[in-house]
Amino acid sequence: MHKLILMFFVLIGAQAWCLEKPNILWLTSEDNNVTHIGCYGNEMAVTPNIDKLAKEGFRYTQCYSNTAVCSATRTSWITGMNAVSMAGHNHRSNVKVPEDKVIFYPQQLRKAGYYAVNTGKTDYNTRQDPRLKTMWSSSKLNWNKLKENQPFFQVINHADSHESRAMGKDYTYPQDKVKIPPYHPDTKEVRANYGYYYKNVTKMDENIGRALAQLEKMGLAENTIVIYNSDHGGPLPRGKRYLYNSGTHCPLVIRIPEKYKQLWPADKPGSTVDRLVSFIDMPSTWLSLAGATIPANYQGEIFLGKDQTKEPEYVFHFRGRNDGKIENARAIRDKQFLYVRNYIPYVARGQHLPYQWKIPMQRDWENDFKNAKLNDNQSRYFKLKPKDELYDVSKDSFCLNNLAQSPEYKEIVETMKKKLDSYQRQYTDAGLIPESELNQRALENGVTPYEVIHNKELYNLDAYMQAAAIALEQKAEYYSQLQEFLKSDDSGVRHWAVCGLFMLKDKVNVLADVNPLLNDPSETVRAMAAWTVIEINQSDEAYKVFENLLKSGTYAELEALNYIDWMGGKNNARLIPFVKNYKIKDSKLKPFYDYLVNGMPALGPSKKIKKQKNKKGKKA
């Protein structure tokens, strides 16, 4: 009998939970990491509202974005899958996805009875998906007009801390309130830029406070779980876009009312939580809190609530193209170590991104590098990357001391390499062939990029990973294997073979191997081969490859323009006049194209900031 009574109360409790589902208010901010928030140890940061929320709730100390740029982050959030699993990891890639395979979490919330609202920002890399217009109940929520007893889920995004708010200087900001990381030069100019940004972080905090005050005023605080976090790390150079702590270690604060005490992740409010959390865990966790169905292909763990799953051992990170500049890196971390794999180590960390170069200290930093005013930690940003990086982030939060080549860390590096490989296979990493090549395969086969990468006949991930691993070794002993890869019928394998030969060109005479690829059927392979030949002997035939590709309206426009930029100096001088007469097809390449053909333009605050300045008569 006592078992039946117990079962009765369990059922009653479950029904009560269903009848009293919590409201969920998700407050997001843009482009700030933990070092910009007071409750995370920066005593000089002015963020009283977030600090107060942390005292009333729970502050997570080990929360990381899976990537470090907004559109790829938000694509992962909205789909519950790492964006590399659908080829949505490249910034503003605007990919198509199959509706039966990629399910947006607001759809599930609404099926569970929630009024789901998103206010302030979308910026998904699936922007052409028709469901984006219907998946939310509304873009605004009047808390007075909710249906009786209908729970709500609302996202409110705050842009005051965005990169555009770092495009200025404030010399009046108290110098003693600015903390400069050791990878930046500690100058008056840099401090003025930091001060300008700090003021805008405080504005962000003020708006967080207004939302919380309105919630209280409406009498909804006792029924609402409040979540605050940023969308990735900070916008000042070497933060946003980079997979170091500066780009991925994010604040996460969650306040849970007393009536939902059973959800508390610690004994009492004001506590810290050291569980390893990644952003990909959030959609699954929010759906779990709402009692909604979690799609089977969602990749996150549930880190909060009655259905909490086991803490993950690692967080997976990825980096793709940003604006018009190609990048490609993967990483994993645990609570002590961060391992980063750079797939294009032959390009400097600090690639010129026209939008990023609107930040004054970015230009100041570059000028100091050119004038040899920087120490090793500060100048590393403008130099080539190693293929492997390992940091003990428990001691080196700024990620300055690369341990990857230290014999005593060899075992850790190998373990993390293998684990990273397993994540890439588990998530079906779309970034192992050039972006344009992937899109071309999708076009030729009449399918989405998602369907390409999940079809082994169209996308041989294991083969690409093997070829990439050998290419990245940059060792002459692998020369014969690279030669064999050149014979592959798969353009993705041939691409990695050419990349490997490019990196060996100073150790081995690779010209005879690469020259035939100037006529390769793949336009991305042809472009990489042409760059390799130009670096060796500046042959007329190789230059004509680029000229002919651009004349023909190549599908490899992105790669061709990047390779021309990466040549630099005397090697691309012949091509720049030709490129000036080229009309780009892809609008997102326009700022990069302008920079490539005209050099550094005169850069200043964005138009939005200028308007604010004119209206108020002072800095925004």
**120 φψ region: left (φ > 0), alpha (ψ -120 to 50), beta (else):** left
Q: Are 564 and 579 in contact (CB under 8 A)?
A: yes
Q: Which helix (H) or strand (E) holds 390?
A: strand 388-392
Number of C-beta neighbours around residue 458 at 10 A:
18
Number of residues written out for the chain: 620
Q: Report the DSSP beta bridge partners of residue 253.
A: 59, 228
Q: What angle do CA 260, 296, 139 make, to 5 degrees?
A: 60
What SS3 state is found at 617? coil
Show Cβ contacts of residue 578 under 8 Å, excluding neighbours closer than 6 positions.
546, 547, 550
Q: Which of 541, 430, 56 is nearest to 256 (CA)?
A: 56
User: Is residue 63 annotated as part of the catalytic site, yes or no?
Assistant: no
**What's the CA gap between 337 and 227, in Å, rounded?**
27
Look at residues 378, 451, 435 and name the one whose alpha carbon lies nearest to residue 556. Answer: 435
Q: Which of 39, 63, 70, 499 is catalytic?
A: 70
Residue 375, burial from CB neighbour count under 10 angstroms (0-12, 13-18, 19+): exposed
String of DSSP letters for 393-457: TTT-TT-----TT-GGGHHHHHHHHHHHHHHHHHHT-GGGS-HHHHHHHHHHHTS-HHHHHT-TT
Catalytic site residues? 70
